[in-house]
């Protein structure tokens, strides 16, 4: 169904009725490496003018630090398409990325006292 404003074809349940490869100009492989937990943030650099509306939507969400998985969920697009769009934005200098590095585990990652303290803290917040 058209949204009445001449915008993209939308379906309330399915989302956009445009094939993902049309959003990424037929490209299926990003030129940079991203995983789902890669953090992305916007820079002050303006992207090239030839980037489209989908790039602008991704860039707007990158104003605060966000992961690739979050971008995919918010924009209701496959992560692969988001990665291709992000590659374009990285190449134009509009976004920077940072890989997710888990905190090092302590001496005993199954420390019962620590786990109980975390559980108590969570119960207090609920």
- Interval 14-59: pLDDT, tens: 555 555 666 666 677 888 999 999 999 999 888 877 788 889 999 9
Cβ-contact 89, 95 below 8 angstroms? yes
The answer to whether residue 4 is domain-embedded is no
- Which domain does 52 fall in, by range? 10-125
- The C-alpha angle with vertex 102 and arms to 33 and 125, in degrees rounded to 5, equals 125
Cβ-contact 70, 25 below 8 angstroms? no
Average pLDDT, the chain: 81
Report d(CA 67, CA 74) in Å as an integer.
11
CATH number at residue 107: 1.10.10.10
- pTM for the model stands at 0.66
Based on the structure, what is the number of domains in the chain?
Answer: 1
The answer to whether residue 52 is domain-embedded is yes
């Amino acid at each position: 169904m058209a949204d009445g404003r001449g915008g993209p074809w939308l379906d309330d349940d399915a989302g956009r009725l445009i094939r993902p490869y049309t959003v990424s100009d037929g490209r299926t492989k990003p030129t940079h490496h991203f995983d789902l937990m890669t953090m992305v943030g916007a820079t002050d650099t303006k992207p090239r003018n030839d980037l489209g509306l989908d790039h602008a939507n991704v860039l707007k969400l990158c104003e605060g630090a966000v992961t690739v998985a979050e971008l995919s969920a918010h924009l209701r697009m496959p992560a692969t398409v988001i990665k291709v769009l992000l590659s374009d934005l990285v190449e134009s200098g509009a976004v920077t990325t940072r890989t997710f590095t888990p905190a090092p585990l302590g001496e005993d990652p199954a420390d019962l006292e620590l786990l109980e303290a975390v559980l108590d803290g969570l119960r207090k917040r609920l």
